[in-house]
Amino acid sequence: MQQPSGQISPDGFWMWNGSQWVPNPYRAPMPAPSAPPYESARFRAGVVTILLAATIPGSLLLTAASLMTDLVPNPNDQQSLLIGLLALLAGLLWFGALISATVFFCMWLHRVIRNMPALGSPDPHWSATRSVVYCFIPIVSWFHPMRSVLDAWRGSDSSQRWLTQGSRRAIPPPVLIVVWWMSWLIGIYAGNLGSRLTGLGAAVLDVVGGIGLVAAAVFCLMVVRELTARQDRKHASIAIGQLV
C-alpha cells in the first residue's frame, strides 16, 4: 500500500510527498550558534606594549653582562663584583618585565581569538583557551603563539565579511608576523647556545641573541598593536553595515 503524502520522518528532516522523501519545508531552521560579543583588545594591547618595551633595557644589560663574562675570563674581585651586580640587575629587570608581558600577552591573545566569531570567522583553528595553553607546551610552543596570531590576523581581513578556515589559509602571512617569530627564535636559541660556550664564539652568539630579543620585542609590540587595530576596524565596518 502506498504511503499517504505528508508523513514526516522520525528525525523531522524529511517529508513523504507521495512518491519520494523530500526535505521537510515546514521544519523550523536550526538556530545559528551565537558568537560572543565583540570586545576590543585595545587596553590589553596597550599594557602589553609597555611591558614589551620594558624588556628591551633588560635584554641590553643581559647582553652586556654576558659579553663581560665572555671577554674577561679571569676577572679580579672588583670585576667579578661588577659583573655579578650587572647580571643580577639585568636578570631582575628582564625576567620581571618578560613574565609580566607574557601574562598580559596571553590575556590579549585570548581576547583576539575570542573576537574571531564576532568578526565573521566562526571556526578559529584553536579555541581562545587552547591558543593560550599551547604557548606553554614544549615543542608545540615553537609554533605558538605565532600560528594563533596568524589565524586571528587573517580573520580580521576587512575585505570579506565571512572567512572560513579554508579561506583564511589562502591569505598569505604578513612579513611582520614572520619576522617577529624568527627574531624570537634566533634570540632565544642563540643566547642559549652562547651560554654554553666561552670566548669569542660565545660573545658573538650573545650579541646575536641580544639583538634577536630586542628585535622580537619591537616586532611583537607592532604585531599586537596592528592586529588590535585591524580587529577594531573590521568591527566598525560591520557595525555600520559596510560588511554584510
Letter for the amino acid at 16? W
- pLDDT (tens digit, 0 to 9) for every residue of the chain, 244 residues total? 556 677 777 766 777 777 888 877 666 444 445 678 999 999 999 999 999 999 999 899 888 888 888 777 777 888 888 888 888 888 898 899 999 999 999 999 999 999 999 999 999 999 999 999 999 998 888 888 999 999 999 999 999 999 999 999 999 999 999 999 999 999 999 988 887 877 788 889 989 999 999 999 999 999 999 999 999 999 999 998 887 6
Q: Hey, where are the domains in the chain?
A: 46-239
Helices then strands, counting H and E runs in the chain, come out as 7, 2
Quick one: pLDDT at residue 29?
A: 47
If 0-12 CB within 10 Å is exposed, 13-18 middle and 19+ buried, where does residue 137 land? Answer: exposed
Cα pseudo-dihedral 203, 66, 194, 98, rounded to 10: -130
User: What residues contact 164, with CB distance under 8 A and at least 6 apart?
Assistant: 121, 122, 123
Question: What is the value of pTM for the model shown?
Answer: 0.81
Strands (E), the chain: 14-16, 21-23
The confidence score (pLDDT) of residue 33 equals 57
DSSP structural state of residue 9: -
